[in-house]
Amino acid sequence: MMETLSTSVLSTHGLVARYGDFQALYGVDVTVNEGEAVALIGANGAGKSTFLRAIMGLLPVAPDMVRLGGQPIGGTPTDRMVQKGVAIVPEGRRLFSGMSVEDNLRVAVDQAERLGRKGGWSLSRLHQLFPILKEKARTPVQSLSGGQQQMVSIGRALLCQPKVLLCDEISLGLAPKVIREIYAALPEIRGQGTAVVLVEQDVGLAQSATDRLYCMLEGRVTLSGRSGEVTREQIGAAYFGGSHAVV
């Protein structure tokens, strides 16, 4: 897929981000095209989650550093980012404890209606994607397994009708069978025209599930390319900053 301005839905340009006096990102350039799946890989502390936070307006950045459909949106508050079509599945899921599965999801439905967001995702469509959410509709979310909670978190983000879905470590702490089930939903999500950005530490999973990947190290992009074409040796060198293979 060619990376052109006409197909770029989300891009960053020399993205710099700080936590107070600590600089966490150093001139990060990333492009995500319509309907594309892009992985961000790298060790803990590489800047992957910070990158997502900067996009979502949780860190101060200059307007031109983040663009949606070519328009500068850097520093836009999180609620307005959702209104513009960018949703996030945060690390740790952050569901509303004490509320049922359906009530958690209806929060997103109500928000989308309030913000005037329209799209192809509904509760019934979501139940087709993750049937367990219909079965557990009246179950308090804190009673669900970790994988089921992650499905609720993904569903909540999809019901915001996003153009771009940012996923922060959605496989973290889950059993392999559950991870496969969640990742199996990605083609249908992309089939709605939604681009997906995956922060993922499992390199093999990241490569198999995405079109392109970016490797980050100490707040910088050290490698980018087609997911199926970059070698394990290239990833190892980019991941660790030296000549190391990824196993």
pTM of the entire structure? 0.89
pLDDT class for 4, splitting at 50, 70, 90? Answer: very low
Q: Are strands 212-217 and 220-226 parallel, antiparallel or unpaired?
A: antiparallel
The backbone torsions φ and ψ at residue 200, rounded to the nearest 5 degrees and listed phi first, read -145, 130
Least confident of 72-76, 145-149, 225-229: 145-149
CATH of 8-240, one of 3.90.1300.10, 3.40.50.970, 3.40.50.300, 3.30.470.10: 3.40.50.300
pLDDT value, residue 228? 94
Structure tokens at 107: 């929060």
pLDDT at position 246 over 50: no
- What's the mean pLDDT in 94-110? 86
Average pLDDT, the chain: 90
The torsion defined by the Cα of 212, 56, 58 and 238, in degrees rounded to 10, comes to 0
Least confident of 114-118, 145-149, 176-180, 184-188: 114-118
Q: Is the pLDDT of residue 6 over 50?
A: no
| pLDDT > 90: percent of the chain | 72
Q: What percent of the chain has pLDDT over 70?
A: 94
The pLDDT of residue 111: 80
- Is 138 a residue whose pLDDT tops 80? yes
At 233 the pLDDT is 94
CB 141, CB 96: distance < 8 Å: yes
CA distance 99 to 105: 10
- Does position 92 have pLDDT exceeding 70, yes or no? no
Say whether pLDDT at 243 is over 70. Answer: no
**pLDDT given for residue 84 in this prediction:** 92
pLDDT of residue 93: 64
| CA dihedral of residues 129, 132, 135, 138 (deg, nearest 10) | -100
Which residues, in sequence order, are CB contacts of 22 under 8 Å at separation 6+? none
What average pLDDT does range 95-101 have in this prediction?
84
Kindly state the average pLDDT of the residues 219-238.
95
- Looking only at the bridges linking them, the beta strands covering 195-199 and 37-41 are parallel
Q: Tell which residue, 199, 191, 229, has the closest CA to residue 215.
A: 199
- What is residue 88's predicted lDDT score, i.e. its pLDDT? 92
**Mean pLDDT throughout 16-28?**
96
- Asked whether the predicted pLDDT for residue 64 surpasses 60, the reply is yes
Q: How far apart are CA 157 and CA 143, in angstroms?
A: 20
pLDDT (mean) for 29-37: 96
**34-38, 98-102, 223-227 — which is least confidently predicted?**
98-102
Distance CA 187, CA 37 (A): 9
The predicted structure's pLDDT at residue 220: 97
